[in-house]
Structure 1
């Protein structure tokens, strides 16, 4: 599969040196990058931005800006825009010296200053490399007073980075200019409140499409053979519908509300799509799901209301009726949907039991009256009933506020391998795992059960459990005796538990506590 993500990371910035040091003072970051800055080969949009910022940089009037900052989210094109400005003919004519250095999240103050000075006075490279911090700052001030310079600090992430450099860039009038790029506009304000802050707009649909074609094939030709891509934030919402040959699409996992768009991404026309990950109802048009009849893998998040959940289920059922439908993996995340209202729990139960949908991963964040309303499993004699169509392998619950023990229901899920129960999933006092429960569970997390006092694990329960985490269950008095039977347990993590609980495992003097035998078979 062709991954556009790798192509997008190529901004034609060519590394010329990379140095590390192990003898820097503690707390300093260890790596420094420096780059040459050729003019970008691919440049779409931002032409008016270039001309505007160039005018500001060459302006020598009394009210000109001492600092030009380009700020915006990652992937927007800040560095590419700065490169275009840096290589502009007016800039090369106006300034006697040009220096470019990339800061990123890891920097060394001396290395940054050395790089700048070597760019400005390359004939003194050897002496510059032998200067200490004070000499570097002193020489920088001298050069900027004597020579009209443009210095670019690319990708500066934090105010700490600037504070480490600011001695070499004092406030006040200067014949030299400073330009920086940053994801954080607060960094630009911290550097100089009187500077000019430019926030580039996202590309429009036509520009996005043009850049996508150029980046994908470096020719601008049609993308008839283009089958897979990662979406970066600058893509217009209408670009995707033009990629009717797309097979695999990976959306950002974060909510893309930083794009400033009022309308959602559209997916109509992508009928050949086989993989769609991180579809989110908050910024994707959920009605487009019904057109994706060839999906093999889908992960989707529904937020905010049961209406969203109902529409999602309706569209999934519709595509499931297609003769070509063959969904092998469905992952669903339900956030803040007020499941107790309307028929939210009924919809979830339908989703869980719909055999053709192959629900494998389910995450629910929000209040649930009882898990039996979602997972219709029960004992009939010695056997489980109503579980043959439930394929869930991973379940993640949080803020459920369950008052009844959920384990008698959850332990019947025949394929459940991962169970993560986070803050306030269970608010009762007692919990039990029975002898035949959780036959395929390998990972279990219990986090912030505020009222849990006793947990019982019968012999035979969780026979292949390999990882167990217990954290912040502040009323739990002791580990269950049944842990001694968990011969497959390889990793046990216990965090933020009461001192009395911890003392039952290992005392302060290092001696074994009375409960240590329960976990002595687990490798430390």
Structure 2
């Protein structure tokens, strides 16, 4: 319920939106809306204090519920009003072109919204008067320090984000587990790590899994997250996609295989390999039974690792292996972790003496549980020292049945979030357990929901990035993957924190998760719903009971699910949707009814067979993000030019993007240059839409991916991209044959990807002149000659270099002084490359080397014991040599 302040705040922002103001003025209901805004502003003054007092006081709790309901009512009235008058608004365009005459429909709409606003105003007055009735009229009178601590702007300047998760107290455990993996019996053993939630099982095994010793010992390494909801088929398919070299035809065959066929294929592949398979967070014996046939025992020292809360599962998987049970942290280990999380403690290598006693008392209440220490430390890291005592007094919890009850401390950290972060955190309950979610996709959903506030000249994505980093700083969210430049690529949330988000969200009618339990009806007032099951018949009835939904996220784990006719109800029933995300919709074309969802701001279709978008897609004037992941190329109608708010249009392949690209085919000659807000466009085929210099007029583009079929197309492309001054990321695919002079590339370009380019001249000679280039990816036959060279002082700012499937490359030379800033080098499937360049030993900045699917002779030269080329890489801290596609 602590999200109610956010609900009111977002409602007031909505009512100030220029488009809504235009509608209000046009339909002559401005006076009524202004009175409504004034009432909500007065009510907002009481909410902060009410939020702090509602714990244990049913009177205040009931009053907050009343505020929530009336705020939701007001939002529904405004959005429904806009839905009904949208066509007339689009016809008129701007207030200056308003006709004096109204149609009967428009007069009716104006009259109805007036009555609805009057009803809400009366309800607000009743709620305000009820404060006296409830005896709570004194709330809101005390001014105090915001529980949010420092502002987001201040936090950005004072709290640097850690690059890696803190690892404290598990050093000995790590040694034990590594020994179990690399020593002992030759049979395929199951190594289990057992412990309660929040004890650090996944953190420990992740550290082991990523260690160079382990990665170089095994020929094959794979990490699988199981949790309570999983699809065996999806898990097995993902192993195949990541490790096996398959043609496009083979990939489609794999998609049609059943579980038995997939297990057999993996088992055959692993026969000759010493493999390491991690099954993280496995709950039931049935999960092990479903997967074990894929892991053959050929007496070569292969290992399977399980992390589980259930010791019985561990013993069932391998009765001969004793599970490793994690302990709680000692007092000093707990203090060490606490100091790392509370950044305010560490100054000049020491600790503030006046806080140590108080800090140790707080740590003692965490009873050595790492998750609790991390979360409370994250909370205190954004608080002033004078506020620590209040936190200490708020923690009251104890051991229950041998486990630590941590719900209170997690709830405390949630309640301390500033109002702008609370809906962002609750939204994480949408995602399935143990499912990683993309950082960009999450931020775009936040923006679509209206959770992010414009801040100066910054984009909403930049604001959202700060919000995500603050949640990470508070240990409410974990970083799963960083990209080669160190930015956050994907995140995850601990299942205990996810449960907290779901519980708080459900109580406040913010969100409800439906997992297929027919005995749990969907609340009629729920604003958002996440559906995590396979049977569409179980929720198609939701449409009649939940017309006010703002967000629907569907995660399917079944093949033949959500066919086109089952999908239609989504687009016909929920007229006020802002976010629609469907994972597993096996349809070729979206229904025309999609054009009715005029409030839609985010549309995502992943894991689909989508081939075409309907022309009605152009009727979505507010759409900000269009994301599609399909196994086919996507046809897009020319009506896309009408989507004036579109900021991000990105298409990816359902298969591993490294294997089979998915390309956007834009039909006709739409004037995309009219979409001034467009920042992301990828991956789009060159076509008529680019004629007349249209591409070069998209001056706000930051990320662009283009597929080029001919050399002539490439020439026109170069003449366009030179004008894109804001462009940071560029992906060029298709037949280029030759690169232009470096002056054709935008000066702000930091990332460049080339794929299927068939370049006949060494690209390094030109690309090393790009002064701001930080990431370079030469992939899949982008260069087809035998030699390549990097010269002195070339690539002055390059930090990450990827060379993949350069099948003709035999020799790569690196002169001393080249790539002076290189941090990360990734080389894969360069089958003819004989050895690493001599000059690599002089690149002192290099801290990560990844080699995958390289010839055995190449890898033999890099062995620590006797390898001819070991001296070239011995200075590199992290070396990963594997068969897995990285």
Aligned length: 331
Matches within 5 A, 1:402-413: 402-413=759-770
- Cα distance per residue 1:20-75 (max 9 Å; x no partner): 52223369xxx9xx9743386599xxxxxxxxxxxxxxxxxxxxxxxxxxxxxx98
Cα drift, residue 355 of structure 1: 1.9
| 8 Å contact from structure 1 (residues 208, 239) kept in 2 | no
SS of match in other structure, 1:251: strand
- Cα distance per residue 1:191-234 (max 9 Å; x no partner): xxxxxxxx9542475x3333334xxxxxxxxx2xx644435647
Structure 1 segments, 4+ long, off by >6 Å, are 74-77, 304-307
Q: Which residue matches 2:839?
A: 482
Measure the CA separation in 1 of the matches of 2:733 and 2:531: 30
Q: 1:355 to 1:202 in 2, by over 3 A?
A: same
Cα drift, residue 430 of structure 1: 0.7
Q: 1:413 to 1:241 in 2, by over 3 A?
A: farther
Q: Which residue matches 2:808?
A: 451
- Of 339, 342, 352, the residue aligned with 2:710 is 339
| 8 Å contact from structure 1 (residues 463, 486) kept in 2 | yes
SS of match in other structure, 2:686: helix
Q: Which residue matches 1:212?
A: 574
Measure the CA separation in 1 of the matches of 2:540 and 2:567: 20
Q: Which residue matches 2:728?
A: 360
1:37 counterpart = 2:506: no
Q: Which residue matches 2:618?
A: 268
- Cα distance per residue 1:305-342 (max 9 Å; x no partner): 99852334359938x86xxx8735233242xx5223xx
Q: Which residue matches 1:470?
A: 827
- Of 11, 22, 26, the residue aligned with 2:314 is 22
Cα drift, residue 502 of structure 1: 3.0
- Of 373, 395, 414, the residue aligned with 2:752 is 395
Measure the CA separation in 1 of the matches of 2:591 and 2:715: 33
Measure the CA separation in 1 of the matches of 2:705 and 2:688: 14
Q: Which residue matches 1:329?
A: 702
Measure the CA separation in 2 of the matches of 1:312 and 1:256: 25
More strand by share: 1
- Of 169, 183, 187, the residue aligned with 2:559 is 183
Q: 1:273 to 1:413 in 2, by over 3 A?
A: farther
1:283 counterpart = 2:283: no
Measure the CA separation in 2 of the matches of 1:36 and 1:302: 39
Q: Which residue matches 2:875?
A: 521
Measure the CA separation in 1 of the matches of 2:766 and 2:606: 31
Q: Which residue matches 1:370?
A: 738
Alignment RMSD? 4.4
For structure 2, which runs of at least 5 residues remain unmatched after alignment? Answer: 1-5, 8-228, 230-282, 285-309, 320-432, 434-514, 525-529, 542-554, 652-661, 669-684, 879-886
Deviates more, 1:397-406 or 1:358-367: 358-367
Measure the CA separation in 2 of the matches of 1:292 and 1:299: 15
- Cα distance per residue 1:454-500 (max 9 Å; x no partner): 11112332222211112232332221122122222111122333344
| 8 Å contact from structure 1 (residues 427, 452) kept in 2 | yes
Q: 1:427 to 1:360 in 2, by over 3 A?
A: same
More helix by share: 2
Measure the CA separation in 1 of the matches of 2:523 and 2:590: 18
TM-score by length of 2: 0.33
| 8 Å contact from structure 1 (residues 438, 461) kept in 2 | yes
Q: 1:82 to 1:485 in 2, by over 3 A?
A: same
Q: 1:184 to 1:230 in 2, by over 3 A?
A: closer
Matches within 5 A, 1:478-517: 478-506=835-863, 510-517=864-871
| 8 Å contact from structure 1 (residues 362, 392) kept in 2 | yes
Cα drift, residue 349 of structure 1: 1.2
Measure the CA separation in 2 of the matches of 1:410 and 1:275: 32
Cα drift, residue 512 of structure 1: 4.1
Measure the CA separation in 1 of the matches of 2:535 and 2:686: 40
Measure the CA separation in 1 of the matches of 2:664 and 2:538: 38
| 8 Å contact from structure 2 (residues 516, 532) kept in 1 | no
Measure the CA separation in 2 of the matches of 1:231 and 1:490: 39
1:251 counterpart = 2:604: yes
Q: Which residue matches 1:434?
A: 791
TM-score by length of 1: 0.52
Q: 1:427 to 1:76 in 2, by over 3 A?
A: same
Measure the CA separation in 2 of the matches of 1:250 and 1:316: 29
Q: Which residue matches 1:68?
A: none
Cα drift, residue 431 of structure 1: 0.2
| 8 Å contact from structure 2 (residues 625, 648) kept in 1 | yes
Cα drift, residue 511 of structure 1: 2.2
For structure 1, which runs of at least 5 residues remain unmatched after alignment? Answer: 3-12, 44-73, 86-104, 106-154, 158-181, 186-198, 214-222, 378-384
Measure the CA separation in 2 of the matches of 1:499 and 1:460: 30
